[in-house]
Copies of this chain bind each other. A is one copy, B any other.
Amino acid sequence: MTMHDLRRFDIVTLGETMLRIVPPPPLRLGQSETLALSFGGAESTVAANLAWLGHRSAWFSRVPDNPLGRQLVRTLRGYGVDCDDVVFDPQARLGLYFVELGPAPRGIQVWYDRKHSAASLMRPEEIPAGWIEQARWLHLTGITPALSDTCAQTTHAALDRARAAGLTVSFDVNYRALLWPPQAAGAALEPLCKAADITFVARRDADALFGIKGEPSDVARTLYGRWGGTVIVTSGEQGAAAYDGTAAYHVDAIPTTLVDRLGAGDAFTSGVIDQLRAGAPLETALRFAAALAAIKLSLSGDIALVTRAEIERVMRDQSALLRR
């Protein structure tokens, strides 16, 4: 029996997933009488991406016990995410957000309506004993601690349990300016960055929260000095950089067609985790992640409904061929 089989999950994660409501592009919110419904949440998106790539992932949250909460779980479970421990709340609401996928110069706009959500009521003691301990990897983001005090407590409790049980821990800073001010976020999140084995941070968040400016490679190096571990700095069309104390890597963004920006960061994160779990070198992980993010940007929806073969094809840069 291999190590793989000794634990129940390859990766576990927790956080809020919301109803995502989008008028059909290029219509504006406020201009359309038809809306497309899907679900979006950074952590469950990573869980779904990794499940689709073959990892045994699990997600913990609170969702309302109504048709929308059940549709959300049905969606994630379809991708292969284990949702057996999600708490169904008969009272609370599903957080939601409206998105307008406007082409330039309008750009994408997001209106949140997420206060008082079921997920914001998450409590540490609701995560079953063993759920974290029987996994090999825990992924957290900086969104959850901003949702409520109990969500912050849940994040820290999960982290502590993961450390105690020897899991690898990844943390995505994922700063949400509409939830809290940068100073508060920086102060709250830096301990999580330090405790994680791998930290993902957008270049502009490194500036806003931690006051670190510069090229992604320089930012990664500087943050490594503060946090240790592996620091990965993403910078949209400027690509991404990583530093792990031994070597610095940079990957360019792959040219793509912008269909839906939401979920691209989570696709990148998922790509890195997929590769590191398989023992790939950090440089390969960045290249794989960049390909996955590029494909995701050309897709509708947060989740990257992409096969490994397609990612590898884009890495080989043969995307434009028509096979028939």
On A, residues with C-beta under 8 Å from B are: 21, 26-38, 66-68, 70-71, 74-75, 77-80, 93-94, 96-98, 100, 102-113, 115-116, 176-178, 254-257, 259, 261, 291, 294-295, 298-301, 305, 310, 314, 319-324
Choose among B30, B37, B301 the residue that contacts A34 (Cβ–Cβ < 8 A).
B37
User: Residues of B contacting A324 with CB < 8 Å?
Assistant: 97, 110, 112, 176-178
Q: Which residues of B contact A28 (CB under 8 A)?
A: 67, 299, 305
- The answer to whether A26 touches B299, judged by C-beta atoms less than 8 angstroms apart, is yes
Q: Give the interface SS of chain A, mostly helix, strand, loop or mixed.
A: loop
Copies in the complex: 6
- Contact yes or no, A298 B102, CB < 8 A: yes
Name A107's contact: one of B109, B115, B294, B322 (CB within 8 Å): B322
B107 in contact with A29 (CB, 8 Å)? no
Instruction: Name which residue of chain B comes closest to A320, CB basis.
Output: B107
Residues of B within 8 A of A301 (CB): 31
Interface centre among A30, A111, A259, by most chain B C-beta atoms within 10 angstroms, is A30
> CB-nearest residue of chain B relative to A24?
B34
The residue of chain B having its C-beta at the shortest distance from the C-beta of A78 within the complex is: B78
Contact between B108 and A305, CB atoms less than 8 A apart: no
Separation of A256 and B104 alpha carbons in the complex (Å)? 6
CB contact under 8 A between A93 and B113, given known A36-B34, A78-B74, A255-B105: yes
Closest Cβ–Cβ distance, residue A186 to chain B (whole Å)? 18
Other-chain residue from B38, B67, B111 in contact with A66 (beta carbon distance below 8 A): B111
CB pair A105–B34 under 8 Å, yes or no, is: no
Q: Which residues of B contact A27 (CB under 8 A)?
A: 300
State whether A298 touches B103 (Cβ < 8 A): yes
**Please, how many angstroms separate the alpha-carbon atoms of A80 and B77 in the complex?**
7
CB distance from A157 to the nearest CB of B (A): 26
Residues in chain B near residue A109, CB distance under 8 A: 322-323
Roughly how many angstroms separate A128 CA and B256 CA in the complex, as a whole number? 43
Let me know if A30 and B71 touch, CB within 8 A. Answer: yes
Given contacts A37-B34, A104-B257, contact A29 B322 (CB under 8 A): no
CA distance A38 to B107 in the complex (A): 24
A304–B165 CA distance with the chains assembled, in angstroms: 42
CB neighbours (8 Å) of A310 from chain B are 106
Known: A28-B299, A116-B116. A110 touches B323 (CB 8 A): yes
- What's the nearest-Cβ distance from chain B to residue A148, in Å? 15
20 contacts between A and B (CB under 8 A): A21-B21, A26-B299, A27-B300, A28-B67, A30-B70, A30-B305, A34-B35, A66-B111, A67-B98, A68-B98, A74-B79, A77-B77, A93-B115, A105-B257, A105-B294, A105-B298, A105-B319, A108-B322, A176-B324, A261-B322
